[in-house]
Structure 1
Amino acid sequence: MKKTLCLGLALAVCVTSALAEDKPLRIGIEAAYPPFAFKTSDGSIGGFDYDIGNALCAQMQTKCVWVEQEFDGLIPSLKVRKIDAVISSMLITEERKRSVMFTDKYYASPARLVMKAGTSVDDDFNQLKGKRIGVQRGTSQDRYATDKLQPLGTEIVRYGSQSEIYLDMQSDRLDGTIANAAPLQEGFLKTPQGQGFAFVGPELRNKEYFGEGTGIAVSKGNTELAQRFNTAIKALRADGTYQQVEKKYFDYNIYGD
């Protein structure tokens, strides 16, 4: 009788485990951050984050369901288990590590300031006194600008998406923006919308604000899922899949050292 019971319990555990593995992963993403994530003409999602995420899911032999929302809602959704992971250009910072767990990086890029071409800005940013600088709400750049630029007399204007910032820069409602250098270059400066603008001032690599690269966020304590992603990232780097996706969007090494 005991053997039958134990066998039944073991079978139940195996079935439960199999069901857990078959359950789709819900991946949070903000689809308004080109070239990492954007909406295509048919309304679907495209971009580096999206393609890498799908490649990772294929490598892990796991079905993934993408859940769109604004960036500042991604970590709260992860914490209440509405999503299982975030693949949305999220910097690995000590502050965020208090709320979520991160994988290893899957790319790295410094933050930069973009203003009208020809604008002179020194490393101390004193020229930004009285200027209106747009940042995406809830980002590391938001925190940096609040801590470092606002005390200089800079007006920090927060937005729900980076695309809104670009529109206000074109309309002269903003003097500039601070964001990740890669999307600034690929999604703005290289486009007709970004004509007349340029990077100014220094590269921003302060680890306190800009962390150790960009990683995938999972629920705190979910070491198993983080490790599955880490193994998949290494596999994509080793078999050339990562580089194939990279070449679709960048003509340089986005992964870093």
Structure 2
Amino acid sequence: MRRRSALAAPLAVALPAMAQTSPLRLRVGFAVGYAPFSEVGSDGQLKGFEIDLAQALCNRLAMQCVPVMLDFDGLIPALQSRKIDAIMASMSITPERQRVIAFSAPYYFSPVRLVMRSGTGLDGSPASLKGKRIGVERGTIHERFLAEQFKDSQVMRYATQDQAFLDLKSGRLDATLVDAVIAQFGFLNQSDGRGFGFAGPDFGRDERYYGKGIGVGLRKTEAQTLGRRIDEALATLRGSGALKTLNDRYFSFDLVTPKP
């Protein structure tokens, strides 16, 4: 049920809400499988916060959204090779990534937490996890954070976060580092997540790694053209309250108001 390879073809299923008549297309890369941001429903249709936001942006831009499902670590290469035009996959705006691609203004802000079995007595600090196995999805900022801040732990890399959750449940991992919202909806709220919980602080506040929020990834050559139009559309959605309404459709807490 997780994401396909970096060379995956555009999504085969149609999105009923997606415009079908606009002559201008926006190929949007999604890392599908993270409820409630982007996932394939039981009816085979894409759904989620980022799916709906992409459609709202396309409506403002008068463009046809064309969704493309990719592995997370294949998104930037696909953007650079012009297989897609934009990335909407909970990608943090960081200096490291900004050297390679451009970003829109942030459209949401996500906490980052460790998930561990409850009752272990471990506090989630690097010292408490010395020699322990921590799972992480390859190609994410979490991977770099663990490599540099949890040097005495064993960092186990996975193609998808679901694989890390499976190994956490089976006991092959001691912890996994992940966006808190993804962990809450994709694991802790499910039967497999019983007996597990968050540990440690919100590492997402460390701007050295996690930057200033989640933005739409774009080619640098289009930052002043498509990027500017997307920023204007986001500003309109935020100013009208439509972005907050979309937030409230999926979350009981506010992810879209900028950090103080």
Counterpart contact for 2:243–2:256, Cα < 8 Å:
no
Answer yes or no: is 1:108 the counterpart of 2:118.
no
Aligned residues: 235
Counterpart contact for 2:85–2:218, Cα < 8 Å:
yes
**Corresponding letter in the other structure for 2:173:** L
Deviation at 1:248, TM superposition (A): 2.1
Distance 1:138 1:43 in 2: 27
Residue aligning to 2:220: 220
Residue aligning to 1:24: 25
Deviation at 1:242, TM superposition (A): 1.5
Residue aligning to 1:15: none
Answer yes or no: is 1:137 the counterpart of 2:115.
no
Counterpart contact for 1:122–1:202, Cα < 8 Å:
no
Distance 2:120 2:225 in 1: 48
Higher gyration radius (CA): 1
- TM-score computed with the length of structure 1 as normaliser: 0.87
Q: In structure 2, list runs of 5 or more residues that go unmatched.
A: 1-21
Percent of aligned pairs sharing the same letter:
41
Deviation at 1:240, TM superposition (A): 2.6
Compare the two structures and name the one with the higher strand fraction: 1
Distance 1:134 1:248 in 2: 30
Residue aligning to 1:241: 242
Counterpart contact for 1:110–1:210, Cα < 8 Å:
no
Deviation at 1:91, TM superposition (A): 0.3
Deviation at 1:238, TM superposition (A): 2.1
**Corresponding letter in the other structure for 2:131:** G
Deviates further, 46-55 or 69-78: 46-55
Deviation at 1:45, TM superposition (A): 1.4
Superposition map of 1:54-93 within 5 A: 54-93=55-94
Deviates further, 157-166 or 234-243: 234-243
Residue aligning to 1:195: 194
Distance 1:37 1:162 in 2: 13
Distance 1:124 1:162 in 2: 21
Deviation at 1:118, TM superposition (A): 2.6
Distance 1:255 1:123 in 2: 27
RMSD: 1.5
Deviation at 1:23, TM superposition (A): 2.6
Distance 1:233 1:109 in 2: 17
Distance 1:132 1:256 in 2: 34
**Corresponding letter in the other structure for 1:47:** G
